[in-house]
Structure 1
Amino acid sequence: MSAPARAARTRSWRPAPGHAFVSGYFVLLVVFGIAPAIYALYLSVTDNAGGFAGLSNFVRTFQDYRFLPALGHVATYLVLWLVTLTVFVLLLALLVHRLTARWSRAALRFVYYVPGALAGASSVLLWLFMLDPSVSPAAGLVRYLWGDTFVSVIAPGNLPLLFTVIAFWTGAGGWIVVMYGALNTIPHELIEAARVDGAGPVTVALRVQLPMLRKWVVYMLILSLAAGTQLFVEPQLVSQASFGVVGTDYSLNQLAYLYAFNQGDFNGSAAIAIDLLIVALCCSGLFVARGGLFDAD
């Protein structure tokens, strides 16, 4: 590029308001996201003395007898969580969108969103109360589904489903509101044209509305996947409440915590963290590629 062309390009650039809006986020991303990830990567390939260790920390943590069970627990939870989230969020958003009364739409959106106001730990404590057959207001249903004692309810085999219920309770409301807003951006003329052609509510939803929500669904899946891989608060509180029935190494984040603060092995903990980051990035890349998140309409 010639000097006059570079000068013209420099003069044509002006800081847009959008740059000011994203500047704060960019600073936070660098300080609390990118920089810690780089430091974790450094720790994962070094030893306690700071010498280069290659992939030995990754191999060592992978060979830990607790690693594969923890990986299986997180994977099972993620499958249940993402499938449940996608199906029910879309169904509930479509239900709210079809309501004709404005007050009923507003009331449902408020009801859906309220559980999200509770912090993660508060929601888990609430559900520990709800899942204890001796004190739960839904004791009959709890006993029918999982057993007569709190220990039988929180048995390790039940935890992926229970964590899915807790996560849906706390996180789905916000996404229902987002999907409802996305449904409102679909041109009304397009839906009316489909109805004139004889399409019923189910056909309109499957052939018109859901395809146009594809990018929003991909966006939801990416953020929910990132949050789901960080499973920690729920099993940690359940482990404390169960008095040892559920181990403190149920999830990979718990295992990384044990490596760092029980064993003093920050290099192994960083290796587990990088494993989670790689899996999350690969799955997110797959969602972006298959869902066309950045394709121009």
Structure 2
Amino acid sequence: MTTIEQISATPARGRSSRRSVERSQGRIGLVFVGLYTLFLLVFGVFPSIYAIYLAFSKRGAFVGFDNFIKVFKDYRFLPAVEHVGIYLVVWLVSLVILVVLLALVVHSIGAKWLSTSMRFVYYIPGALAGASSVVVWLFVLDPTVSPVSFLLRAIGLNSLVQAVQADSLPFVLAMIAFWTGAGGWIVVMYGALNNISREVLEAARVDGAGPIRTAWSIQIPLMRKWIAYMVVLSFASGTQLFVEPRVLSQASRGVVSQDYSLNQLAFLYAFKQSDFNGSAAISLVLLVVALALSVFFVFRGGLFERA
């Protein structure tokens, strides 16, 4: 083969190699997408369709909105809605403010080892499952064994029962949720801050903007999509409140009611009253509300807008 032929053959081999790599990557991608789609259908779409069928039927017959009307008239329904609503407001507001603030603080630290250590410390509580984190907080909130018992007694709490009263419970649940979930979101926000162009930040400093002004006018607006993403996922998980109040109910011997949240009420309908239709109606209400508000946050946060 002549030199000219070798030169002309080299790009052809390169293109063929790239196409081969792309095909291989495409096949691997299809495997992952296929597995995800399978699990989504089996554990997500099909159960949702079956729940819709149960919510609008009774003993196999279509009954319209009768199951929903029965659930709405239940004396336990509106208090459960109120409990979840207050918890979500406290949880989401504290999450957005504190996570963004802590991410900005960690990002501003010049020493890399200290920044890395703080992110690791924040992330540690996320390794605990929901029930495990509640057990930890049972010790923290019980003045008889708590390492911060002096603080609890200083604010007038002398027993676990006092700490989990109905008026303070949304804040207790929000603390538990923040402790277990905030660390991962701080890492996400830290990554979002790293994606902000250094030239933009330098231009702000040249214009005389201090750290607070830079954070408020540049960094936080550029993190809007990630904040919206955090709110959507946190809202979806918050509406499913179940494990924390259920464990607290058992630990407090009924001070926290077994129908405190909508998920608990749906559980009682299904497994205490054998009313799967009413349980499906509650689940469907949760699904519709979560989807509607998630769509609102997605569009308000510009989650799918191109930069």
TM range (shorter): over 0.9
**Which residues in structure 2 correspond to 1:114-193 (within 5 Å)?**
114-193=124-203
Separation in structure 1 between the aligned mates of residue 35 and residue 217 of structure 2, nearest angstrom: 40
Q: What is the percentage of aligned positions where both structures have the same residue?
A: 59
Aligned residue identity for 2:162:
S
Give 1:132 deviation, angstroms.
Answer: 0.5
1:23 is aligned to 2:34: yes
Give 1:222 deviation, angstroms.
Answer: 0.5
Deviates more, 1:255-264 or 1:18-27: 18-27
Give 1:292 deviation, angstroms.
Answer: 1.1
Q: Work out which of the two has the higher radius of gyration on C-alpha atoms and give 1 or 2.
A: 2
Separation in structure 2 between the aligned mates of residue 224 and residue 208 of structure 1, nearest angstrom: 24
* Alpha carbons 1:44, 1:268 under 8 Å: kept: yes
* Alpha carbons 1:46, 1:52 under 8 Å: kept: yes
Counterpart among 38, 43, 57 of residue 54 in structure 2: 43
Give 1:21 deviation, angstroms.
Answer: 3.5
SS of the equivalent of 1:156 reads coil
Give 1:148 deviation, angstroms.
Answer: 1.1
Separation in structure 1 between the aligned mates of residue 272 and residue 147 of structure 2, nearest angstrom: 38
Separation in structure 1 between the aligned mates of residue 278 and residue 261 of structure 2, nearest angstrom: 15
The aligned counterpart of 1:33 is 44
Q: Which runs of 5+ in 1 are unaligned?
A: 1-13
Separation in structure 1 between the aligned mates of residue 286 and residue 79 of structure 2, nearest angstrom: 15
Aligned residue identity for 1:31:
V
The aligned counterpart of 1:3 is none
Give 1:296 deviation, angstroms.
Answer: 1.6
CA deviations on 1:179-223 (whole Å, 9 max, x unpaired) are 001110111111001111111001110111111100000000000
Residue correspondences, number: 283
Deviates more, 1:25-34 or 1:71-80: 25-34
The aligned counterpart of 2:262 is 252
The aligned counterpart of 1:201 is 211
Separation in structure 2 between the aligned mates of residue 25 and residue 174 of structure 1, nearest angstrom: 22
The aligned counterpart of 2:294 is 284
Separation in structure 1 between the aligned mates of residue 154 and residue 41 of structure 2, nearest angstrom: 49
Separation in structure 1 between the aligned mates of residue 215 and residue 161 of structure 2, nearest angstrom: 42
Counterpart among 219, 226, 231 of residue 229 in structure 2: 219
The aligned counterpart of 1:236 is 246
**Which residues in structure 2 correspond to 1:60-75 (within 5 Å)?**
60-75=70-85
Separation in structure 2 between the aligned mates of residue 89 and residue 287 of structure 1, nearest angstrom: 18
Separation in structure 2 between the aligned mates of residue 233 and residue 98 of structure 1, nearest angstrom: 36
Give 1:34 deviation, angstroms.
Answer: 1.1
TM-score (norm 1): 0.93
1:273 is aligned to 2:283: yes
Deviates more, 1:36-45 or 1:19-28: 19-28
TM-score (norm 2): 0.90
* Alpha carbons 1:146, 1:153 under 8 Å: kept: no
